[in-house]
Every structure is written in structure tokens, then in C-alpha cells.
């Protein structure tokens, strides 16, 4: 049965949109599979760190299947495929709306939880103000201080700060425990991995010359800087999904009432 104006527009829309997502899903699937399996590209030593690639493969397969249903359903005007496609996309649409509502409802609680986890990590694993010694987590904290121009988790205003309960300040043999250091050298203003070792008082004694902003606020500001484009992309995806569901049902209706 010939489609009306709305059905034709919907068919073109679904074909174009789902070609893009079909190729995206296929790309994720192929790249993920290569990263997991090709030993010439990924060595055995690196493979354990790529376990999360499985997630991308699963996402790729899901996008590939859903987009395939929409693409071939629109091309062939197959009502069964279009209804299945519309239901899956509608589920995704509702899930996103629910996630957004949940985020706004629990945003404060989530932020407090993240901040507390960061503080616990610092006070448990920060062992040295060096990128060459100490635990891997401790070295990561030092790199964060220099990269984000921040210090500790909460704002540092004096010698009494988040580091007081960390192994760096409680264990014997550490510069905070055995000297007058109150702030890691990596917290000093303008230092990088090649220059932080030259940092001395008054920065390290917590008098002046150190980054006062806490790393939680610095990290939050960095994430917030991407909020506008992320929101824009999110809204665009929601609109596309809603239109996809509407057009799928429009095509189904115009395909023919006699088809069961």
C-alpha cells in the first residue's frame, strides 16, 4: 500500500537515521572485537586493562540490531520489524527520562557520595608527594594536583587540611610526618612532573604559593564545562528517538490495516 505524506517522510527519516546508527553499531562491534582479539595490536600485558571493551562490543551489537530493525523495517515496510523497533526505542526513551529525573532528584546525594569517596581514597592511599614513589593511587593523586591545579579534596586554607589523616602525614619516614611539610610539592602553583621536585617553602609549609582549590571543586568545574554540549546532544537524541517511534507507528498504520 502506498504511503501518505507523513509515512513517506517517516520512511526517509528512519532510513537516514538508522543508516547512521547501523554503521555506528557496526563500527563499535568491529573495533571492539579487534581490540579484544588482535594480539598484533594489543599485547597480552595490555589486554587486562581492556576488559571494559566488552561493554562497547555489547553496546555496538545492541545499536546494530535496533538500527537494523528500523532500517529494514522502513525499507520493506515490515510492520512486525517496525513495531519491535518502536518498542525498543520507546523503552530507551523512557529509561533516559527516568535517569534524568533520578539525577535531578538525587544529585546532591550523589555529589556528597563522590566527594566522600574521594576523601577516603586520599586519606587511605596518599603515601608520598611524588610521581615516582608510593602506590599507584598515590601517584595518580599527585598527577591530578598538577593537572587540575588543585590540592586535597576540600579547599586548603591552612596547614590543617585533608592530608592530616593520610599515610603521608601519619607514617614515619614521610616528609609530612618528619618535617614541616603541610602541603605536597605537587600542590604548588605552576609545577609539572619535571619541576615539582624543586618546590620548597613557603609552598610546602602551607604558607603561600599552593593551589587552594580542592580537587572535588576543580573536577566538578571541569565536568560542568562540558554540560552545555552534553545537554544539547542529550536533547537531540531524545527528540530523534521520539520522532523515530512516531514515524514507525505512522508507517505501520499506513502500510495497510489488512496486514496482521
Helix ranges (H only) for the chain are 5-37, 53-76, 79-125, 136-148, 167-170, 175-178, 215-224, 227-255
* Among 75-79, 179-183, 219-223, the least confident range: 179-183
Cα 165 to chain center, whole Å? 30
Q: Any idea which residue has 523515530 for its cell?
A: 244
User: Residue 66: what pLDDT?
Assistant: 94
pLDDT of 21-80, one tens digit each? Answer: 999 988 888 887 776 665 455 555 445 545 566 777 888 899 999 999 999 999 998 999
C-alpha span between 165 and 75 (Å, rounded): 64
| Residue-level pLDDT at 51 | 58
Q: What pLDDT, on the 0 to 100 scale, is given for residue 153? A: 93
b (16+ CB within 10 A) / e for 68-106: bbbbbbbeebbbebbebbbebbbebbeeeeeeeeeeeee
**pLDDT level of residue 1 (50, 70, 90 thresholds):** low
Task: Report the alpha-carbon distance of residue 179 to residue 175 in Å, rounded.
Answer: 5
Peptide bond before 233: cis, by omega within 30 degrees of 0? no
Question: Percentage of the chain surpassing pLDDT 90?
Answer: 37
pLDDT for position 64: 92
Query: In this predicted model, what pLDDT tens digit does every residue of 137-161 receive, in sequence order?
Result: 888 999 999 999 999 999 888 767 8
C-alpha grid cell for residue 77?
Answer: 515496510
- Reading phi first (left if > 0) and then psi (alpha if -120 to 50, else beta), residue 77 is in left
Mean pLDDT of the chain: 84
pLDDT of residue 141: 92
Q: How much is the pLDDT for 257?
A: 47
The average pLDDT across 181-202 equals 86
- 201, 180 Cβ separation under 8 angstroms: yes
Q: How confident is the model at residue 178 (pLDDT cuts 50, 70, 90)?
A: low
Amino acid at each position: 500500500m502506498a504511503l501518505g505524506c507523513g509515512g513517506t517522510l517517516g520512511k526517509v527519516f528512519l532510513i537516514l537515521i538508522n543508516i547512521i546508527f547501523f554503521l555506528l553499531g557496526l563500527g563499535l562491534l568491529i573495533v571492539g572485537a579487534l581490540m579484544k582479539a588482535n594480539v598484533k595490536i594489543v599485547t597480552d600485558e595490555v589486554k587486562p586493562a581492556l576488559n571494559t571493551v566488552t561493554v562497547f562490543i555489547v553496546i555496538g551489537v545492541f545499536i546494530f540490531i535496533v538500527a537494523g530493525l528500523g532500517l529494514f523495517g522502513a525499507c520493506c515496510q515490515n510492520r512486525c520489524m517496525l513495531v519491535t523497533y518502536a518498542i525498543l526505542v520507546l523503552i530507551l526513551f523512557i529509561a533516559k527520562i527516568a535517569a534524568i529525573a533520578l539525577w535531578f532528584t538525587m544529585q546532591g546525594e550523589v555529589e556528597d557520595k563522590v566527594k566522600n569517596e574521594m576523601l577516603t581514597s586520599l586519606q587511605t592511599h596518599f603515601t608520598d608527594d611524588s610521581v615516582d614513589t608510593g602506590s599507584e593511587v598515590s601517584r595518580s593523586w599527585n598527577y591530578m594536583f598538577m593537572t587540575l591545579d588543585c590540592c586535597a579534596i576540600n579547599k586548603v586554607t591552612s596547614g590543617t587540611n585533608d592530608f592530616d589523616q593520610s599515610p603521608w602525614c601519619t607514617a614515619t619516614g614521610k616528609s609530612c610526618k618528619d618535617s614541616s611539610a603541610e602541603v605536597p610539592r605537587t600542590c604548588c602553583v605552576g609545577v609539572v612532573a619535571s619541576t615539582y621536585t624543586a618546590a620548597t617553602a613557603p609552598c610546602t609549609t602551607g604558607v603561600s604559593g599552593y593551589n587552594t582549590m580542592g580537587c572535588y571543586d576543580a573536577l566538578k568545574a571541569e565536568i560542568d564545562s562540558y554540560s552545555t554540549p552534553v545537554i544539547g546532544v542529550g536533547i537531540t537524541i531524545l527528540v530523534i528517538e521520539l520522532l523515530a517511534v512516531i514515524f514507525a507507528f505512522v508507517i505501520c498504520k499506513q502500510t495497510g490495516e489488512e496486514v496482521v
